[in-house]
Chains A and B, each alone.
Chain A
Amino acid sequence: MHGHHFPEPGDGPASGLLGQVEAAEAALRAAAERGRPGAPDGAAGDTDPQEYFTALIEADQKIEPRDWMPDAYRRTLIRQIAQHAHSEIIGMQPEGNWITRAPSLKRKAILLAKVQDEAGHGLYLYAAAETLGVSRDELVELLLAGRQKYSSIFNYPTLTWADVGAIGWLVDGAAIVNQVPLCRCSYGPYARAMIRICKEESFHQRQGYEILYTLAHGTPAQREMAQDAVNRWWYPSLAMFGPPDRDSTHSEQSMAWKIKRFSNDELRQRFVDMCVPQAEILGLRIPDPELRWNPERQSYDFTPPDYAELMRVISGDGPCNRQRMARRRRAHAEGAWVREAAAAYAAKRAARATAPTEVAA
């Protein structure tokens, strides 16, 4: 990727993560410079495709769409990238909920830009998924039929303006911790999409952090609203990293294939360690009485989220699952005539462009 080097404030809460994104991008370029493994004359044609695939992964090279890949690798990527794309699209709803009620014009413009980014992220990810031989339409149908999932976090309601801040700080923060390692994913199109997305996500995270900081240093009522939002979003955000390692079905194989680089629990710990000092600067409390520094582990001990609740939400029984799906289905159904009109108009113009011009007698 190229051409999205945003000016760096450098000391923001995500600067360390942005640095990692830059490093991943440099590694991606370096791998391309090194060229692929194989005989000096580039003769990879005679090797067993499975062996060559493994050699590419070992050498930290990217698998590209037309390379041979195991069916299970293709399937797992389609599942993961589609779920990721669906999450961006459904994720527009909880925040879209506050666009008309944002407390100032500046905040409203920022929120609009953020939701626009999320649509863009969904599109980059659908495009990456399509390189694996599925169409976006198929994936959208699977989502609408409830056969593919999206992130559990978007099934929680946004009850106050402060929730928009908590989503930016905690939800987008968790997403970044989860997604920065994906910038080094072995599948090229996914890695490149993630590099672009992570840079934009860090704007979202800082924007949320600023909202909470403003509220936490405002009137007592604003402060209370900010604390209440953090109280409600903390545990669902911890659950975003998925089930604990002992119950995670896809982790081991995904890590061997270098799709994932770290386990769910490792990333969750990283997120907690990142949030504690950020919460101190905000002047807000993380709602966990067990949270304390563990000098032996050089990490914070914390209460894990309620995994039974996570499973309930994933299986469709969270606070907003039905509403989120109903809205998406309705938008799809009610937009059908518009999509058809656009296709018909394009077909008409294409026919005119190729029609023989009539010569007057």
Chain B
Amino acid sequence: MSDDPRTRTGGGAPAKTADRSGWPLWEVFVRPRRGLAHHHVGSLHAPDAELALRNARDLYTRRQEGVSIWVVPAAAITASSPDEKDAFFAPAADKVYRHPTFYEVPEGAAHL
């Protein structure tokens, strides 16, 4: 959802972090009750994973927003860089044969 400058990039400008507290930043992902996947909902500072999890519960699920929480140290996330996104994602566009609709199914062949 958000390409974050706090994470290290796979190239381009180095991330700018200015954390002097000794309390690292954690990114929080929550899976909603009937959701299939965890979504990024925000971030928080905490001294360790256990407290990050507990604070994430208080902060991001006060109204039963989810049934599962992941916390990840922000420093452990590497993000793609917006400057190179064209080159990075371009190969997807010229490989139409990756889509099932590219292939014609002969008349009469069922269950394909």
Among residues of A, the one whose C-beta sits closest to the C-beta of B28 is: A127
Report which of B20, B30, B42 forms a contact with A135, defined as CB distance below 8 A.
Answer: B20
Given A3-B32, A65-B3, A66-B81; A135-B17 close (CB under 8 Å): yes
Q: Are B66 and A133 in contact (CB under 8 A)?
A: no
Q: Are A2 and B39 in contact (CB under 8 A)?
A: yes
- Give the CA-CA distance A25 to B2 in the complex, in Å: 16
A73 interfacial contact with B, CB 8 Å: no
B82 interfacial contact with A, CB 8 Å: yes
Q: Provide the residues of chain B in CB contact with A41, threshold 8 Å.
A: 86, 90, 93
Q: Write out, one digit per residue, whether chain A residues 1-44 have a CB within 8 A of any chain B CB (1) or not (0).
A: 11110100000000000000000000000000000000001111
If over half of A's interface residues share one DSSP class (helix, strand or loop), that class is named, otherwise mixed; here it is helix
Q: Are A64 and B44 in contact (CB under 8 A)?
A: no
CB distance from B96 to the nearest CB of A (A): 14
We find that the number of chain B residues with CB closer than 8 angstroms to chain A is 46
Report which of B1, B16, B65, B85 forms a contact with A133, defined as CB distance below 8 A.
Answer: B16
Among residues of A, the one whose C-beta sits closest to the C-beta of B85 is: A42
Given A67-B82, A116-B62, A135-B20; A130-B43 close (CB under 8 Å): yes
Report which of A127, A342, A346, A347 forms a contact with B43, defined as CB distance below 8 A.
Answer: A127
Q: Write out, one digit per residue, whether chain A residues 167-185 have a CB within 8 A of any chain B CB (1) or not (0).
A: 0000000000000000000
A137 interfacial contact with B, CB 8 Å: yes
B25 interfacial contact with A, CB 8 Å: yes
- Max chain A C-beta neighbours (<10 A), residue from B3, B30, B42: B42
Q: Provide the residues of chain B in CB contact with A192, threshold 8 Å.
A: 1-2
Report which of B25, B65, B66, B86 forms a contact with A43, defined as CB distance below 8 A.
Answer: B86
Given A116-B62, A124-B42, A137-B19; A66-B51 close (CB under 8 Å): no
A75 interfacial contact with B, CB 8 Å: no
CB distance from B32 to the nearest CB of A (A): 4
- Give the CA-CA distance A188 to B18 in the complex, in Å: 21
B47 interfacial contact with A, CB 8 Å: yes
Q: Are B5 and A131 in contact (CB under 8 A)?
A: yes
Binding site for B on A (CB under 8 A): 1-4, 6, 41-45, 64-67, 116-117, 120, 123-124, 127, 130-138, 188-189, 192-193, 200, 339-340, 342-343, 345-347, 349-350
The 6 A-B pairs of least Cβ separation, nearest first, read A3-B32, A346-B48, A343-B22, A346-B47, A342-B47, A66-B3
Binding site for A on B (CB under 8 A): 1-6, 9, 16-23, 25, 30, 32-33, 35, 39, 41-45, 47-48, 51, 58-59, 62-63, 65-66, 79, 81-87, 89-90, 93
Known interface pairs A130-B6, A135-B19, A342-B23; 9 further A-B residue pairs with C-beta atoms within 8 A, sorted by A's residue number: A6-B63, A45-B86, A66-B9, A123-B59, A131-B4, A131-B5, A345-B47, A347-B22, A350-B48
